[in-house]
A and B are shown apart, each in its own frame.
Chain A
Amino acid sequence: MEVRENLLYTSSHEWVMKKNGMVRIGITDYAQDHLTDIVYVELPEINKVYKKGDVLATIESVKSVSEVYSPVTGKVVAVNEQLENDAGIINSSPYDDGWIAEMEIENEKELGELMNAEEYEKLISKDL
């Protein structure tokens, strides 16, 4: 299961990429593998402010419905509209083409509460 070095992670299996004052958000390789084939994604609303822990998106796979929680507080400035037509991109490319949303973060400090790659790897290895 791929865990990328340069990303931050949550215990609910979202990843966060820092991009000059903004963040890009998606779900991890581990998460997509466990959800199995993703069929539908309900994307967040652009310009809406989500608090840390709010439901940002809903992912429906052939096996279950799961929620993607906002890893930080901020305003959504972009969503990956490609997922509307082919949500399976999250399975094939969870860290690149399968990103979910981009946000302007309110408080950079919140990033410090997230896990680094090593910590996340440890978390998922408990499960293997």
Chain B
Amino acid sequence: MKTALYDLHKELGATFTNFMGYEMPVKYRGIQEEHLNVRHNIGIFDVSHMGNLFVRGDAEKISYFITGNASKINEGMGEYTMLLDEYGYIIDDEVYFKVGKDEYLFIPNSGMHGSIYNWMRINDGLELKDMSDEYSILAIQGPKVDMAVMEVLEKDVLPEKFFEIRNIPEGKFKIKTDISKAFISRSGYTGEKGYEMYIYPAEAAVEIFRAFLEKGEKYGIMPVGLGARDSLRLEKAFMLAGNEFRGGRTPFEVNLDFFIDWEHDFIGKEALKKKKDSIGEKIAPLEVIDRGIPRHGDAVYSGEEKIGIVSSGGYSPCLKKGIALAFIKNGYRKEGNEVKIVGQREMKAKIVKCPFVKKGEC
């Protein structure tokens, strides 16, 4: 599958990778260069492989499917949440927004919108509209983001609070566009200040992407591929569906129990309560001491004992070191603990604190 921006990526010299069935740019100029540019200036990403699922219905009915509580969300705001199965295991994590009275926009992970559509369809009271193929999503991220966004949009349309979302009315664009419907939220997956734009019809995102490259040039904007998207999120220790959870993981194991609202009823709640005290391993952040880059699936040892497995590994362009998130057995996650990571190669590492890279530290 291709996003509406595929030809533009090609024109910009992208190297492509297949991600969940989508031909997506992994990089344009270089992963580290793009990564550092998002930390220091600004970058624009095509994330149209993510889904767009509109759900209309009663907040209580919607909340039955998520760990969060939609009744507590004000119109124009959103939150991070998870969908669990009956056993309390994570099906998917996502951000959702309240975009109108009784109307919500869910942004499922790539390839998940179909299953979530079917999962939520079991409730008669909900009206679902899967618009994933009709919408494009652009992420614009980095400390200079406001200056660039204000070249394209009128200032008064920009959401001010984190997870705030606004409809962009016609006439608020400073450029010519074919957009018939668009939203902008203050959100992202890089740990930097940023916005995400949801654009209908999908093809209209091409001119928006071009406008950002052109008008953002003086702020140093660069197109950014999935390679840097992954290293940016890993430095902030954000979880990646498919890596940190692909079935069989509860929110406790990935340190996301903060996002459970226990005051409401949701699928998996009873099972989760029972599992709470019998969790044997949890995600911990590891930093490599010598040379080497941990990879997904590498084993983690303490002496001769296997104590865990790497769920996400990579190289941190900010720290110039290998870093990883790993499921580590209880009793071994103390900060400073030395471990050995064994995969295609072997390296020494230690348990550190989350995030790997703090705000402004790069």
Q: Which A residues form the contact surface with B (CB < 8 A)?
A: 33-34, 36-37, 39-40, 58, 60, 62-65, 88, 91
Chain B residues with CB under 8 A of A91 = 30
Chain A residues with CB under 8 A of B15 = 33-34, 36
Chain A residues with CB under 8 A of B293 = 39-40, 60, 62, 65
Contact indicator B291/A62 (Cβ below 8 Å): no
Judged by DSSP, the binding face of A is: mixed
For residues 223 through 247 of chain B, which have their beta carbon under 8 Å from a beta carbon of chain A? 227, 231
Q: Which B residues form the contact surface with A (CB < 8 A)?
A: 15, 26-27, 30-33, 227, 231, 291-293, 295, 314-315, 317, 344-345
Contact indicator B291/A40 (Cβ below 8 Å): yes
Known: A36-B227, A37-B31. A62 touches B344 (CB 8 A): no
Closest chain B residue to A92 by CB distance? B30
CA A91 to CA B317, docked complex, whole Å? 15
Further contacts, 16 of them, CB under 8 A, given A36-B31, A39-B315, A88-B32: A33-B15, A36-B15, A36-B26, A36-B27, A36-B227, A37-B315, A39-B293, A40-B291, A40-B292, A60-B345, A62-B31, A62-B227, A62-B231, A62-B315, A63-B227, A64-B295
Contact indicator A62/B32 (Cβ below 8 Å): yes
Chain B residues with CB under 8 A of A33 = 15
CA A107 to CA B344, docked complex, whole Å? 32
Please name the 7 residue pairs, one residue from A and one from B, whose CB atoms are nearest each other, closest first: A62-B315, A37-B32, A37-B31, A65-B344, A62-B31, A36-B31, A39-B315
CA A88 to CA B320, docked complex, whole Å? 12
Q: List 18 A-B contacts (CB under 8 A).
A: A36-B30, A37-B33, A37-B315, A39-B315, A40-B291, A40-B292, A60-B293, A62-B31, A62-B32, A62-B231, A62-B293, A62-B314, A62-B317, A63-B31, A63-B227, A64-B295, A65-B295, A88-B32
- Minimal beta-carbon separation of A60 from chain B (angstroms): 6
Chain A residues with CB under 8 A of B27 = 36
Chain A residues with CB under 8 A of B31 = 36-37, 62-63
Closest chain B residue to A64 by CB distance? B295
Chain A residues with CB under 8 A of B227 = 36, 62-63
Contact indicator B345/A65 (Cβ below 8 Å): yes
- Minimal beta-carbon separation of A37 from chain B (angstroms): 5
- Minimal beta-carbon separation of B310 from chain A (angstroms): 14
- Minimal beta-carbon separation of A28 from chain B (angstroms): 15
CA A63 to CA B33, docked complex, whole Å? 14
Chain B residues with CB under 8 A of A60 = 292-293, 345
CA A64 to CA B33, docked complex, whole Å? 17
CA A34 to CA B33, docked complex, whole Å? 16
- Minimal beta-carbon separation of B287 from chain A (angstroms): 15
Chain B residues with CB under 8 A of A65 = 293, 295, 344-345
Chain B residues with CB under 8 A of A37 = 30-33, 315
Chain A residues with CB under 8 A of B314 = 62
CA A33 to CA B16, docked complex, whole Å? 11
Closest chain A residue to B15 by CB distance? A33
CA A63 to CA B227, docked complex, whole Å? 8
CA A60 to CA B291, docked complex, whole Å? 10
CA A34 to CA B315, docked complex, whole Å? 17
Most chain A beta-carbon contacts within 10 A, residue among B26, B27, B231, B293: B293
- Minimal beta-carbon separation of A67 from chain B (angstroms): 10
Chain B residues with CB under 8 A of A39 = 293, 315
CA A91 to CA B295, docked complex, whole Å? 21
Most chain B beta-carbon contacts within 10 A, residue among A62, A64, A65, A91: A62
CA A64 to CA B31, docked complex, whole Å? 13
- Minimal beta-carbon separation of B232 from chain A (angstroms): 12
Closest chain B residue to A88 by CB distance? B32
